[in-house]
Chains A and B, each alone.
Chain A
Amino acid sequence: MISHENIILSAENLTIGYRRKGEPDLVLFSSQSLSSHPDELVALLGPNGSGKSTLLRTLAGLQAPLSGVVSIAGNPIRSSQIRQSARLLSIVLTERVEVRNFTVFQLVSLGRYPYNNWLGRITRDDRLKIANALEQVGLSDYAGHYLHELSDGEYQRAMIAKALCQDTRLIFMDEPTAHLDLPNKVAIMRLLRRLTKETGKSILFSSHELDLTLQTADTLWLIRRGQPVRMGIPEDLILEGAFESTFNTAEVDFDRSTGSFRMQYKDGYPVYYEDNKQNGFWIQHALRRVGFSPVTDSGLPVRVRPGEEPDTWILSVNKKISSFNRLAPLIKTLLDLLHSDPALFKKA
């Protein structure tokens, strides 16, 4: 049991949503108790429109909760006290704002905004903090670079450095890996994990990157509209079936064994596929992708099986056999057949 003093973010009996004029409040969801702790990397996962951003806004004090209290490090958060909140919580946003002629150093130094005087004077202590933040995100050599010259990955790192510079125990990030390529997504996720462990900060981020999040986050908050938030470590939530109830739709299935989503292909044209465990994965992949369903119903007139040689395939249509050593011509033949004689793909 984690002791009460170690809680950084806490929200009790929170109900979030929107007040509307002349209508009942629009309630997105409510939750008994939400909390985050030092060193903890928390990921908010949920379908679009589930209320991830509304939750982040509410927790940040940018929007009032319908009921409940949010506090950070024991201080209740109110939207009227922006400057005070900026010392408790820093926020990294998704949007990339283009500023010409503004350097990385100038950006990161804005992280000192809640602390420095009316002139925004950067003291020696501030300089140290800026240099430290840049080093932590691996941008030490970029202090003099202009923001508009940075790649998206570097830009995101610079924004994270700004948040670190703000010296808060809690950092919120809204989809920190959106717009990034895979290596950069991985790098940012690893960075977030390392930062929580090295600095003791608590980082809360929303994401749609299921694979990476499952591999890096300490805790997941699963959010679905109208349901209470489900909190837990990734593996527990998967084994409990929380992902299915949060994400499943008619078109995707959560595969509990691999922790990933698969598109559902329920209505494909049936083709007999004889599975002998060789190269079976990619040919089935190709068949599903173009709209066929590989089934093991031997009564079908169209049949596909691996050939004797590796990476060859045999297509038989009413016992007429042709052989292929690439998948593209095989798929094209099947699609032509479907076009000229759809009856071949009906179950007997």
Chain B
Amino acid sequence: MISKSPAFRITLLLIILLGLIGADLLLGSVRIPLRDVFKILTGGESKASWTYILLNVRLPKTLTALLVGAGLSLAGLMMQTLFRNPLAGPFVLGISSGASLGVALLVMASVWTGGTALTVLSGAGQWSLVLASVLGSTLVMLLVILVSLRVADSVSVLIIGIMFGSVTGAAVSVLQYFSDPDAVHSFLVWTFGSISGVTWTQFRILAPLVTVCILAAFLLQKPLNALLLGEHQARAIGVSVKRNRLTVILVTGVMAGVITAFTGPIAFIGVAVPHLARALTGTSDHRLVSPVTALSGSILLLVCDMIAQLPLSNQVLPINSVTAIFGAPVVIWMIVKNRRGQQIFQ
């Protein structure tokens, strides 16, 4: 890094982010010149088809990428700090598995009840899908919270969350096994994740909820810093561990649940970005890591979205494949880096 000043780094990230927002709006199967993009965004006159594509397809998608990238990354950061586990992510408590179960039940039930899976996944069915996803993830989150109120240490909460994930995952597998191929295919498409399917109507629900959770994540940075030292040390300096754990789980649950409902389970961003942010800032202090995590998350998801568009072609890759191809090397790098030089007798 050229300068060590945190303000400089955050400014740099903001500039990159703004550049990427512009680039994301420019890219797509239809080529819209930069001048017209500006014109349309500032309310000027342009070709009607361009105006429609930009305002109703690209803009909601770009804004969704911004919020989802920041939200999932912050959720991952909070889980990693709370559980003191570098491999924790936003879905570690089984929240995405819960959402999957909800969606799987809906998709497959709609086939049995005569409706076809396709009507569920498009048009009028979009709200039932969101609802099913929210119900599934909320149910799992409530179970996890119930457990966290009874169990004294976070590691047990983590293990139980993973167990819930396994159970719901297994239930989804059973459902898939007994369902017809069309329904399974529709469900699989949902699991690939997509940020381009979010409409303005959906965005109006997604945006305020995720924004509130992002703000809450920033407000939590003081207890999160204390939790870096482990629950016992945190308690010793006056942190109410149980209450803060509950808040962190709640914020993460709502954020991950809402995002998953609208975009499907987007993997890897939440696990990988906090590590990137810590590497970029050289600290674990949440006062700096939280904003850098949010910015990097938005940046990374925008980049992934642009790659997923496969510039100059009409194909769109599933966003999950792209985030995984980006995310996996980061996680591998982090593990190799941490394991190097670690020995039994220190």
Q: Are A91 and B236 in contact (CB under 8 A)?
A: yes
Which stretch of A95-103, A183-191, A292-300 is in the interface? A95-103
Q: Are A120 and B225 in contact (CB under 8 A)?
A: yes
CA distance A221 to B233 in the complex (A): 25
Q: How far is the CB of A176 from chain B (nearest CB, A)?
A: 14
Residue of B nearest to A94 (CB): B232
Which stretch of B25-33, B59-67, B136-144, B278-286 is in the interface? B278-286
Q: Which of B227-243 contact A (CB under 8 A)?
A: 228-230, 232-233, 235-240
Kindly state whether residue B188 has any CB partner on chain A within 8 Å: no
Residue of A nearest to B222 (CB): A120
Q: Are A110 and B229 in contact (CB under 8 A)?
A: yes
Residue with the highest number of chain A CB atoms closer than 10 Å, among B225, B278, B282, B338: B225
Q: Are A86 and B237 in contact (CB under 8 A)?
A: yes
Kindly state whether residue A83 has any CB partner on chain B within 8 Å: yes
Q: Are B283 and A101 in contact (CB under 8 A)?
A: yes
When each residue 90-114 of chain A gets 1 if its CB lies under 8 Å from chain B and 0 otherwise, what string results? 1111010101111100110011011
Partner of B282 from the list A86, A95, A101 (CB cut-off 8 Å) is A101
Chain B residues with CB below 8 A from A82, complex form: 235, 238-240
Q: How many residues of A contact B (CB 8 A)?
A: 30
Q: Are B287 and A119 in contact (CB under 8 A)?
A: yes
Q: How far is the CB of B290 from chain A (nearest CB, A)?
A: 11
CA distance A111 to B237 in the complex (A): 6
Kindly state whether residue A85 has any CB partner on chain B within 8 Å: yes
When each residue 50-90 of chain B gets 1 if its CB lies under 8 Å from chain A and 0 otherwise, what string results? 00000000000000000000000000000000000000000
Kindly state whether residue A290 has any CB partner on chain B within 8 Å: no
Q: How far is the CB of B73 from chain A (nearest CB, A)?
A: 17
Residue of B nearest to A97 (CB): B230
Q: Are B283 and A103 in contact (CB under 8 A)?
A: yes
Chain A residues with CB below 8 A from B230, complex form: 95, 97
Q: Which of A302-345 contact B (CB under 8 A)?
A: none
CA distance A82 to B285 in the complex (A): 23
Q: How far is the CB of B235 from chain A (nearest CB, A)?
A: 6
Partner of A86 from the list B222, B236, B285 (CB cut-off 8 Å) is B236
Kindly state whether residue A58 has any CB partner on chain B within 8 Å: no
Kindly state whether residue B163 has any CB partner on chain A within 8 Å: no
Chain B residues with CB below 8 A from A95, complex form: 230, 232
Given contacts A95-B232, A97-B233, A166-B237, contact A113 B285 (CB under 8 A): no
Q: How far is the CB of A21 from chain B (nearest CB, A)?
A: 15
Q: Which of B101-130 contact A (CB under 8 A)?
A: none
Chain B residues with CB below 8 A from A286, complex form: none
Kindly state whether residue A62 has any CB partner on chain B within 8 Å: yes
Interchain residue pairs A-B with the least CB separation, the first 9:
A86-B238, A91-B236, A120-B222, A114-B238, A83-B238, A113-B237, A97-B230, A101-B284, A102-B284
Which residue numbers of A lie inside 8 Å of B, CB to CB?
Answer: 62, 82-87, 90-93, 95, 97, 99-103, 106-107, 110-111, 113-114, 116, 118-120, 162, 166
Beyond the given A90-B236, A120-B225, could you list 8 further A-B residue pairs with CB under 8 A, ordered by the A residue number?
A: A83-B238, A87-B238, A93-B236, A106-B225, A110-B237, A113-B237, A118-B219, A120-B222
